[in-house]
Amino acid sequence: MQGLMQDVPLTLRMVLERVAELYPTKHVATKTADGVRRRSYAEVVERVTRLASALRDMGVGPGDRVATFAWNSDRHLELYLAVPCMGAVVHTLNPRLHHEQISWIVNHAEDKVVFADTSLAPAWQAVSGTDTVNTVVAMDDLDGAGGIDGAVDYEELLAGAAPEFSWPTLRENDAAAMCYTSGTTGNPKGVVYSHRSSVLHAMASLFADFIGLSERDVCLPIVPQFHANAWGTPYAALLTGANLAMPGRFMADPASIAALTAEERVTVSAAVPTVWFGVLQAIRAGTVDPASLSTLERILCGGSAVPEPLMRGFDELGIRIVHAWGMTETSPLGSVANVKSTVAEDQVLRTRLTQGIPAPSLRVRLETSEGEIAPWDGETMGELQINGPWIADAYYDPDAPDGRGGQDRFVTDAAGTRWLKTGDVAVIDAEGYIKLVDRTKDLVKSGGEWISTVDLENLLIAHDKVVEAAVIAVPHPQWDERPLACVVKADDAVTKEELLGYVGEHVAKWQVPDDVVFVEEIPKTSVGKFDKKVLRQRFGDYQLAT
């Protein structure tokens, strides 16, 4: 028997229509050099309509890729709506990547038009050999002070475009957006989001037991729109009518974040732990007044593990860090560490520090190195695998059959369930909380045993004479690999012996790093995570005492 319900395709047109009908007076605010620019959602919808007309007049058709090279802003938000709703695909480029990698990505995705912020003109102009791009549109975020050679101006484009547009009927599995992984191994991989996956991800972000975004929130996504869709917050905020505050090119500067939070009365924000460490340090150094964060209720934090001192630091300010895990391939929200009512009181902090339980409609499992499915006992480690309606099913590969590449990263089980192999190693406890142990490629394999670099880093970061620490594997003649700690000192007087002795009080002797090197800073990737690839290049042949 068939269900007798309306078969309404889940497309981003729903978001556009809803915000136009129900929330026209709510707004998006963008930080500029001259202060904050606010646009009502009615104005945004009107501009989105003009933008769609302009794109059509430029020859952009169904399925064409339209790239963005931009910070978080109202204009970037307009592109998030106009491009997919007119049937094309919005492809967010990461301007922090090396220019050769960017041109590789542009060519691979066959981007036709690029919308670039003028503050990023030098980065864009370094990108060469982009054969498929026929138009560049400059979005002036330098308030008249900048331009891009040969580019069309965004505001002129909108002013000259027709104010009405006949929106096409879309299928829910049509591509809506595209984002390449940052490619910590090999070439970046293209993830293609569908309308359906984007709508379901946005809807789920409104569940109280997931992200719980509501109309009363003011949401400040500091995580870039070019990094996994700013964790989906723009679509979720629009769907529920929450105001948005966009940091523009002032992305990770604690004083600007605090000022925007105060001015816009931000209630929820999202960024990687490094950003929040910066804010906490600025508060402690007296350069940011904690009162400017008084409206901030919660922070969505992930991308790398939230260290305990960071969570405690914000707890003391009355701001709740909500720990989340995800990947570009998972849209990106996969799991969130909300505390179930069944968790014992003395386990609450430990639980909040896990990567959480999977979102409603997602399923996870662990596969051990022997190929077994691991029990949820909080002890048995395995590679985390994930299934669900907003999880990638393949990577974009124009040379592969049906454009579906990267098949070695996916597996279909005997019941026909499709799993993405995340490359993360985890344990899952009986309540379903996922605890990431490491990335498969970062684990230290010592004498046949695995050592988690994440556990060692968390311990070191908690030491009051340490600012930051990253642990990498270095070759060892007897044990294959041993851990080496790279540490940024908070106190010049700290010694290797003191740190190793301290670690030895908390972990088994064979897990204690063999040595410590003191470094000026831990290199970061384009999205603010520890770049262990750089550390491995630098210390890969480090001679450990044997």
Active-site residues: which are they?
Answer: 181, 329, 445, 450
Between CA 74 and CA 82, with CA 80 as vertex, the angle to 5 degrees is 100
For the chain, the first-to-last Cα distance in angstroms comes to 71
Report the nearest approach of ligand ADP to the CB of residue 180 (Å). Answer: 9
* Residue 16 backbone dihedrals phi, psi, to 5 degrees: -60, -45
The size of the interface with ligand ADP (CB under 6 A), counted in residues, is 21
- Which of 303, 483, 513, 528 is in the footprint of ligand ADP by CB under 6 A? 303
Mark residues 449-488: x for contact with ligand ADP by CB under 6 A, - for none.
Answer: ----------------------------------------
Between CA 208 and CA 220, with CA 214 as vertex, the angle to 5 degrees is 110
Residues 397, 383 contacting (CB under 8 angstroms): no
Q: Which residues contact 3 (CB under 8 A, 6 or more apart)?
A: none
- Which of 182, 205, 261, 267 is in the footprint of ligand ADP by CB under 6 A? 182
Q: Judged by CB, which is closer to ligand ADP: 216, or 445?
A: 445
Mark residues 306-325: x for contact with ligand ADP by CB under 6 A, - for none.
Answer: -----------------xxx
Q: Does 181 help bind ligand ADP (rule: CB under 6 A)?
A: yes
- Which of 319, 327, 353, 426 is in the footprint of ligand ADP by CB under 6 A? 327
DSSP secondary structure, 399-426, as one string: TSGGGEE-GGGEEE-TTS-EEEEEEEEE
Q: Does 305 help bind ligand ADP (rule: CB under 6 A)?
A: yes
Angle between helices 233-240 and 195-204 (to 10 degrees): 70
Q: Judged by CB, which is closer to ligand ADP: 146, or 183?
A: 183
* Residue 206 backbone dihedrals phi, psi, to 5 degrees: -90, -10
Report the nearest approach of ligand ADP to the CB of residue 2 (Å). Answer: 38
What span, in angstroms and rounded, lies between the C-alpha atoms of 539 and 365?
A: 34
Q: Does 436 help bind ligand ADP (rule: CB under 6 A)?
A: yes
Mark residues 498-537: x for contact with ligand ADP by CB under 6 A, - for none.
Answer: -----------------------------x----------
What span, in angstroms and rounded, lies between the C-alpha atoms of 433 and 354?
A: 7
Q: Judged by CB, which is closer to ligand ADP: 130, or 422?
A: 422
CA atoms within 13 A on the CB side of 535: 27
- Which of 130, 197, 233, 422 is in the footprint of ligand ADP by CB under 6 A? 422
Q: Judged by CB, which is closer to ligand ADP: 103, or 331?
A: 331
Q: Does 92 help bind ligand ADP (rule: CB under 6 A)?
A: no
Handedness of CA 284, 288, 292, 293 (dihedral sign): negative
| Residue indicated by tokens 């890969």 | 540
Query: Which positions lie near ligand ADP, rule CB under 6 A?
Result: 181-182, 184, 228, 302-305, 323-328, 355, 422-424, 436, 439, 527
